[in-house]
Structure 1
Amino acid sequence: MAQYTVVLPQYGMGMQDGEIVKWLKGPGDKVEEGESLVEVEAAKTTVEVPSPVSGTLLEIVAREGETVDVRAPIAVIETG
């Protein structure tokens, strides 16, 4: 099985980081591409980050309340 590292996407030119507000999925959960994984607050706006791939959420790297840089790993999904 392959693993895909999910990174915090950049939603605007000035966005440098975001705070993990709430995970909508947990380790072991099945996820579909495009399904919301996590709520992130950036620039005082809360957005839902969709899963870039379908598979099983293996690991949450960034915990709720943690601030992470754009393009930093936040989770790992097992695909195929």
Structure 2
Amino acid sequence: MAEHIMVLPQYGMGMQDGEIIRWLKAEGDLVAEGETLVEVEAAKTTVEVPAPVGGTLTRIIAVEGETVDVRAPIAAIETA
């Protein structure tokens, strides 16, 4: 098993950070690649961020209400 660190992706050239609005999964939940995992507000719009890999969400690094920089770690997913 390997741990994949999920980072906040950049949606558009001007995006520098985003606020974590809501996690749709909890630690310990199974996630499928491409499944919406978290909602982020960036540049006055809400975007749904999909899981980059399938596996188990083992750790939420960025909590709801926290503002994080683009490419900063937000979660860890354990893959098979």
- TM-score bracket for this pair, using the shorter chain length: over 0.9
TM-score normalised to structure 1 length: 0.99
Query: Equivalent residue for 1:22?
Result: 22
Specify the alignment match of 1:37 in structure 2.
Answer: 37
Aligned length: 80
User: 2 CA distance for matches of 1:54 and 1:26?
Assistant: 14
CA distance in 2, matches of 1:24, 1:46: 14
CA distance in 1, matches of 2:54, 2:19: 24
Cα deviation digits, residues 52-79 of structure 1 (max 9, x gap): 0000000000000000000000000000
Q: Say whether 1:62 aligns with 2:55.
A: no
Q: Give the equivalent residue in structure 1 for 2:9.
A: 9
Q: Percent identity?
A: 76
Q: TM-score, normalised by structure 2?
A: 0.99
Structure 1 stretches of 4+ with a deviation exceeding 3 A read none
- Corresponding position of 2:52: 52
Which residue matches 1:71? 71
Give RMSD over aligned pairs: 0.3
Unaligned runs of 5+ in 2: none
